[in-house]
Structure 1
Amino acid sequence: MFQSFEVTARPEQGPPRLSALRAEIAKQGLDGFLVPRADAHQGEYVAARDERLAWLTGFTGSAGFCVVLEQIAGVFIDGRYRTQVKAQVAAEYTPVPWPDITLSVWLKEQLPNGGKVGYDAWLHSAGQITQAEKELKGSGIELIRTENLVDAIWEDQPEPPMNPVKAHPLEFAGESAAEKTTRLAADLAKAGHGSAVITLPDSIMWLLNIRGADIPRNPVAHGFAILHDTGAVDLFMAAEKLKELGDHFPDTVAIHDPADFLTAVDTLAGQVQVDAGTVPQKVADILGDRMVDAGDPCALPKARKNAAEIEGSAEAHLRDGAAIVELLAWLDAQEPGSLTETQVVTELEARRRTDNALQDISFETISGTGPNGAIMHYRVTEETDSTIQDGHLLVLDSGGQYLDGTTDITRTIAIGEVGDEEKACFTRVLKGMIAMSMLRWPAGLAGRDIECVARMPLWLAGQDFNHGVGHGVGAYLSVHEGPQRLARTSHVPFEPGMILSNEPGYYREGAFGIRIENLVVVQEAPDLATSDRERAMLSWRTLTFAPIDRRLIVVDMLSAEERDWLNAYHRDVAEKIGPRVGPQARQWLDAATAPV
Structure 2
Amino acid sequence: MRQSFDETTSPAFGAKHLPLVRAAMAEQRLDGFLVPHEDEHQNEYLPAANDRLAWLTGFTGSAGAGVVLKDRAAVFADGRYTVQVRAQVDAGQFEILDLVEGGVPAYLEKAPKGAVIGYDPRLHSPDALATLKRAAAKAGASLKPIDNNPVDAAWAERPAQPSAPVVPHEDRYAGESSAAKRKRIGEAVAAAGADAVVLTAPSSIAWLFNVRGGDVIRSPLPLAQAIVAANGTAMLFLDPAKVTNELPGWLGDDVTLMNPGELGQALEGMKGFKVLVDPAQSSAWYFDRLELVGATVVRGMDPCAIPRAAKNPVEIEGSRQAHIRDGAALARFLHWVDTTAQVELPDERGVVEALERFREETGALKDLSFDTIAGIGPNAALPHYKPVTRTIRKMEPGSLLLVDGGGQYLDGTTDVTRTMAIGEPSADQRRMFTLVLKAHIAMAVIRFPVGTSGHQLDALARAPMWMAGFDYDHGTGHGVGSYLGVHEGPQRIAKAVNTQPLLTGMILSNEPGYYREGHWGIRIETLQVVTAPEPIPGGERPMHGFEQLTFAPLDRKLIDVDLLTEAERAYVDAYHAETWTKVGPLMDGEAQAWLEAQCAPLAA
Q: Tell me the TM-score range normalised by the shorter chain.
A: over 0.9
**Length-normalised TM-score, structure 1:** 0.96
User: Is 1:541–2:542 an aligned residue pair?
Assistant: no
Shift of 1:337: 4.7
Q: Residue 109 of structure 1 aligns to a residue in which SS?
A: coil
1:138, CA displacement in angstroms? 5.2
Amino acid at match of 1:503: E
Please state whether the residue corresponding to 1:185 is helix, strand or coil.
Answer: helix
**Residue 559 of structure 1 aligns with which residue?**
565
- The aligned residue for residue 400 of structure 2 is 393
Amino acid at match of 2:544: L
State the Cα distance separating 1:547 from its structure 2 match: 0.5
* One of 282, 287, 305 as aligned partner of 1:284: 287
Aligned counterpart, 2:194: 193
* Aligned-partner Cα distance in 1 for 2:469–2:343: 32
Q: Is 1:581 matched up with 2:582? A: no
Q: 1:368 aligns with which of 350, 353, 375?
A: 375
Matched, 1:264 2:271: no
The reply to whether residue 6 of structure 1 matches residue 5 of structure 2 is yes
Instruction: Provide the C-alpha distance between the structure 1 equivalents of 2:395 and 2:453, rounded to a whole number of angstroms.
Output: 39
What is the CA-CA distance between 1:382 and the residue it aligns to? Answer: 4.4
- In the alignment, does 2:326 pair up with 1:320? yes
The residue type paired with residue 363 of structure 1 is F
Instruction: Flag the 1:342–1:183 CA change in 2: closer, same or farther, 3 A.
Output: same
Give per-residue Cα distances to partners, 1:543-588, cap 9 Å, x unaligned. Answer: 0000011111122222222111111111111111111111211210
Q: Is the 8 A contact 1:336 1:415 kept in 2?
A: no
Task: Provide the rounded CA distance (Å) in 2 between the counterparts of 1:249 and 1:503.
Answer: 38
Aligned ranges 1:510-549 → 2 under 5 Å: 510-529=518-537, 531-533=538-540, 535-549=541-555
| 3-state SS of paired residue (1:494) | coil
User: What is the rounded CA distance, in whole Å, between the counterparts of 1:265 and 1:488 in structure 2?
Assistant: 39
In structure 2, distance between residues paired with 1:328 and 1:104: 44
Are the equivalent residues in 2 in contact too, given 1:193–1:272 (CA < 8 A)? Answer: yes
How far residue 73 of structure 1 moved from its aligned partner, in angstroms, is 2.0
TM-score normalised according to structure 2 size: 0.94
Question: Residue 525 of structure 1: CA displacement?
Answer: 4.2
1:416, distance to aligned residue in structure 2 (A)? 0.6
Residue correspondence of structure 1 range 59-74 to structure 2 within 5 A: 59-74=59-74
Deviates more, 1:506-515 or 1:136-145: 136-145
Between the aligned partners of 1:463 and 1:265, the Cα distance in structure 2 is 52
**Range that drifts further, 177-186 or 101-110:** 101-110
The equivalent of 1:468 in structure 2 is 475
Aligned partners of 1:7 and 1:54 also within 8 Å: no
Shift of 1:516: 0.7
Which residue of 324, 327, 335 maps to 1:329?
Answer: 335
After superposition, the Cα gap between the structure-2 partners of 1:94 and 1:466, relative to the gap in structure 1 and judged at 3 Å, is farther
The answer for the alignment partner of 1:184 in structure 2 is 185
The 5 A counterparts of 1:206-245 are 206-245=207-246
Verify the 8 A CA contact 1:163 1:213 in the aligned structure 2. yes
Spell out, residue by residue over 1:55-107, the C-alpha distance to the aligned partner (whole angstroms, 9 max, x if none). Answer: 22222111110112234322222232234322222213222223221432321
Aligned to 1:203: 204
| 1:135-214 mapped onto 2 (5 Å cutoff) | 135-137=135-137, 139-146=139-146, 147-214=148-215
Encode CA deviations 1:458-501: one digit per residue, 9 max, x unaligned: 32333322221111111111111111111223221110000011
Instruction: Please state how far the C-alpha of 1:191 moved relative to its aligned partner.
Output: 2.4
Partners of 1:188 and 1:195 within 8 A in 2? yes
Structure 2 unpaired stretches of 5+: none
Larger displacement relative to structure 2 (11-20 or 236-245): 11-20
Is the 1:80–1:377 contact (alpha carbons within 8 Å) kept by the matching residues of 2?
yes
Q: 1:295-444 counterparts in 2 under 5 A?
A: 295-334=301-340, 335-444=342-451
Instruction: Give, in whole Å, the separation in 2 of the partners of 1:558 and 1:391.
Output: 23
Matching residue's letter, 2:159:
P
AA at the equivalent of 2:3: S
Partner Cα separation in structure 2 for residue 382 and residue 244 of structure 1: 43
1:412-447, Cα deviation, whole Å (9 max, x unpaired) = 111112222222221121111111101111211212
CA spacing shift, 1:68–1:464, aligned 2, 3 Å: farther
Match of 1:495 in 2: 503
Q: Structure 1's 102 and 3: CA in aligned 2 closer, same or farther, altered over 3 A? A: closer
Partners in 1 of 2:438 and 2:568 — Cα distance? 7
**Deviation for aligned residue 1:536:** 3.5
In 2, the alpha carbon distance for the partners of 1:24 and 1:198 equals 32
Distance 1:584 1:188, change over 3 A: same
Measured in 1, the distance between the counterparts of 2:227 and 2:2 equals 33
Please provide the CA RMSD for this pair: 1.7
Q: Which amino acid aligns with 1:72?
A: R
SS in structure 2 opposite 1:156? coil
Task: Assess if the C-alpha contact under 8 Å between 2:167 and 2:244 holds in 1.
Answer: no
The letter for the 2-side match of 1:579 is: P
State the SS of the aligned residue for 2:41: coil
**Structure 1 residue 507 corresponds to structure 2 residue 508:** no
Partner Cα distance (2:111, 2:84) in 1: 25
- What letter corresponds to residue 256 of structure 1 in structure 2? M
Equivalent residue letter for 1:130: A
CA deviation profile, 1:249-285 (whole Å, cap 9, x unmatched): 1210000000111211121142111110121111111
Query: Contact (CA 8 Å) 2:218, 2:370: kept in 1 or not?
Result: yes
Give yes or no for contact 2:375–2:387 (8 Å, CA) kept in 1: yes
Structure 2 counterpart of 1:397, one-letter code: D
Please tell me whether the aligned partners of residues 275 and 294 of structure 1 are also in contact (alpha carbons under 8 angstroms): yes
The one-letter amino acid paired with 1:359 is K
- Do the aligned residues in 1 keep the contact of 2:108 with 2:135 (CA within 8 Å)? no
Q: Which residue of 2 aligns with 1:56?
A: 56
Between the aligned partners of 1:7 and 1:278, the Cα distance in structure 2 is: 27
What does 1:87-166 correspond to in 2, within 5 Å? Answer: 87-92=87-92, 93-111=94-112, 113-137=113-137, 139-146=139-146, 147-166=148-167
CA contact (8 A) 2:65 2:104 kept: no
What residue in structure 1 maps to residue 492 of structure 2?
A: 485
Distance 1:137 1:290, change over 3 A: farther
SS of match in other structure, 1:519: strand
- Superposed CA offset, 1:30-52 (max 9, x none): 22111111111112221001111
The verdict on how the C-alpha distance between 1:209 and 1:18 changes in structure 2, with shifts beyond 3 A counting, is same
**Amino acid corresponding to residue 5 of structure 1 in structure 2:** S
Tell me if the contact between 1:337 and 1:390 (Cα under 8 Å) persists in the aligned partners. Answer: no
| Rounded Cα–Cα distance in structure 2 between residues aligned with 1:201 and 1:270 | 24
Letter in 1 for 2:364: A
Which amino acid in the other structure matches residue 235 of structure 2?
D
Q: Tell me the CA shift for residue 592 of structure 1.
A: 1.0
Contact 1:35 1:52 in 2 (8 A): yes
Distance 2:175 2:41 in 1: 26
- SS of the residue 2:281 aligns to: coil
Q: 1:214-271, CA deviations, whole angstroms, 9 ceiling, x for partnerless residues? A: 1121000111000111111100001221124241112100000001112111211421
Measure how far apart 1:114 and its partner are. Answer: 4.3
Residues 456, 124 of structure 1: alpha-carbon distance in 2 compared, 3 angstrom cutoff: same
Partner amino acid for 1:164?
P
C-alpha separation between the residues in 1 aligned to 2:506 and 2:229?
A: 26
TM superposition shift of 1:134 = 4.0
Structure 1 residue runs without a partner (length 5+): none
Per-residue deviation at 1:139? 4.1
**Of 449, 455, 471, the match for 2:462:** 455
Q: Deviations over 1:346-396 (max 9, x none)?
A: 222222223233211111111211122122222224444432111111111
> Aligned partners of 2:103 and 2:114: how far apart in 1?
17
> Contact 1:7–1:48 (CA<8 Å) still a contact in 2?
no
SS of 1:387's partner is coil
Deviation of the 1:449 alpha carbon: 1.1
